[in-house]
Structure 1
Amino acid sequence: MLHSGLIGRSITKSRSPWLHEQEARAQGVALSYELIDFTQRSLDDAALPSVIQDVSDCGFAGFNVTYPFKQQVIASLDALDDSARIVGAVNTVAIRDGRLIGYNTDMSGFRQSVIEGLDGAPMDRVLQLGAGGAGAAVATALLSLGVGRLDIADIDMERVSGLAAMLRARFGAEKVAVRAPHDRDTVEIDGIVNATPVGLRSNPGLPIDAARIEPRHWVADIVYFPLETELLGVARTKGCRTLDGSGMVINQAASAFEIITGMAADRDRMRASFFTA
């Protein structure tokens, strides 16, 4: 039997076990996908290296990583794939002969989600909320899709400044602007993307004042539990074009499944599994 799992906080409702185990079962392979929830287990963030060592010692083929460890995990890895090096964050780890190799499938997952769900949407100027590990992947995806200027806001100025510097080095200084923590002005904005944990079932609320959302905006949220976040509910009520987190999670999960198991994933089948979980 193959073993994999997910390391993060407040992940007991994650659909990842269902997605991975169902896809393996459809291919005639037994796979056990374990949720390692630091909140549920009352673990401090500092326990991450020892948890990763335990997972490796238990014979896992690999594991996924989510909030808040997508950047912290890098220090515990032996190597990074180009996908993780470009983004500066890891959400998938393959274990091969005792070596831990980090990948990022969030970027390609979100990128494909935008292609599928926001075709033709204006991308001259986009406001992104959140500059953490997921935010780094989302920002890279947006700029790779041709966003004219990406404004990034985060409560941690050091974190957002670091992300902006990395993105400017790759895409150009004029492509990225840093917003002050509470600067959520949307007058010149085409689209709004939530890449923060605000909106999760465990962290409800709006990441931006509802009054800042106008019918002309498109609004995307990477949160997928719940699928209909308060942000998307407000946006739909106002007539905005919206994109929920399902496309990102399905596409990133399919790529992660391939990296961890070495088997090709059927994305249509995984999409069907997601909506029947």
Structure 2
Amino acid sequence: MNTQENIRPDEHIAALANAQANSRATPHSYLVGLIGSGIGGSLSPAMHEEEGSKLGLHYIYRRIDLEALKLDSAALPELLSAAERMGFNGLNITYPCKQAVIPLLDELSDDVRALGAVNTVLFQDGKRIGHNTDWSGFARAFERGLPDVSLERVVQLGAGGAGAAVAHAALQMGTQALTLFDVDAARAQSLADELQKRFPAAKVSAGTSLEQSLATAQGLIHATPTGMAKLPGLPLPAELLHRELWVADIVYFPIRTALLQAAEALGCRTLSGGGMAVYQAVDAMRIFTGLEPDAERMYTHFQSLLQR
């Protein structure tokens, strides 16, 4: 049972303020957090705090769960202001806030300006600076887990904040033809248009027939919330999968989603969302602290967390 469910926002903020007061006990103290909905199972706090300890820091990472607090993204202005006032060093941002947070920021990194999505906010010198480490985290995980697959023709499900990041990564890695699908067809078309401008040598389009697109694709990227513990199930009919596909999922809780299980049953090569979760955290920690986390140590720790 989530112990935050009955905590009012003001009580939650007071608890975070107490944590910040404690975090000032050493000169190398950091207070960061994660804003999102349904994040009770996130492993980010454990990953960040363990690596912070290894780096000799007093590092506190808190979940700010909109679902548990009975809030929605309309609470973002209040939450960001409260975090600034309490001395947070920064925040990670996840579903459904990666795009909604942008108007609330003072500066945007080049990645954010290109992607239109934020997953990391640094509070520095009185400014809120937005970054995106999702795309770099996905690229590094992909290169580790599926280093030799063909990227010629790729289908992607999901064109939201995370989808924008992983589509960018796929094209950066050499995808020649990327077809996007989303429950909001206009959003898929908008993202396709933006990516086409950014990657003119590739062909980027919003798809019309998932069956036809998958039939000739080498790979499938899944970038929607479907398959998460709170949204179980498959994001597409299982019969559309075929053994020649590689399948990459960005969901990591559970680590073996229904999609990956269906793909593995056919003999497909697969990539879970675990690597992306680790490597985006590595890059976010670097932004928060200015120090270089040990990526392999964080990856090993993440694997141990999955066994608990």
TM range (shorter): over 0.9
The aligned counterpart of 1:50 is 78
The aligned counterpart of 1:28 is 56
The aligned counterpart of 2:142 is 114
Structure 1 residues 173 and 121: alpha-carbon distance in aligned structure 2, compared to 1, 3 A threshold: closer
- Distance in 2 separating the partners of 1:25 and 1:173: 45
Are the counterparts in 2 of residues 10 and 39 from structure 1 also a CA contact under 8 Å?
yes
The aligned counterpart of 1:254 is 282
Pair 1:210-2:253 in alignment: no
Percentage of pairs with the same residue: 45
- Distance in 2 separating the partners of 1:272 and 1:226: 17
The Cα offsets for residues 20-46 of structure 1, whole Å up to 9 and x where unpaired, read as 000011112111101011011000221
Secondary structure in structure 2 of the residue aligned to 1:120: coil
- Distance in 1 separating the partners of 2:73 and 2:129: 21
Are the counterparts in 2 of residues 131 and 152 from structure 1 also a CA contact under 8 Å?
yes
Q: 1:174, CA displacement in angstroms?
A: 5.4
Secondary structure in structure 2 of the residue aligned to 1:223: coil
Are the counterparts in 1 of residues 193 and 205 from structure 2 also a CA contact under 8 Å?
no
Q: 1:271, CA displacement in angstroms?
A: 0.7
Q: 1:158, CA displacement in angstroms?
A: 2.2
Residue number among 285, 293, 296 corresponding to 1:268 in the alignment: 296
TM-score of the superposed pair, with normalisation by structure 2: 0.87
The Cα offsets for residues 213-251 of structure 1, whole Å up to 9 and x where unpaired, read as 111110010000000000000111110000111111111
The aligned counterpart of 1:71 is 99
The aligned counterpart of 1:13 is 41
Structure 1 residues 64 and 184: alpha-carbon distance in aligned structure 2, compared to 1, 3 A threshold: farther
Secondary structure in structure 2 of the residue aligned to 1:43: coil
Are the counterparts in 2 of residues 254 and 265 from structure 1 also a CA contact under 8 Å?
yes
Q: Aligned runs of 1:178-193 on 2, under 5 Å?
A: 178-180=206-208, 183-185=210-212, 186-193=214-221
Are the counterparts in 2 of residues 126 and 151 from structure 1 also a CA contact under 8 Å?
yes
The aligned counterpart of 1:123 is 151
Q: Which amino acid aligns with 1:5?
A: G
Two-structure CA RMSD over aligned residues (Å): 1.2
Number of positions where the alignment pairs a residue of Structure 1 with one of Structure 2: 276
TM-score of the superposed pair, with normalisation by structure 1: 0.97
Q: Which structure is larger by alpha-carbon Rg, 1 or 2?
A: 2
Runs of 4+ in structure 1 deviating by more than 2 angstroms, as ranges, are: 182-185
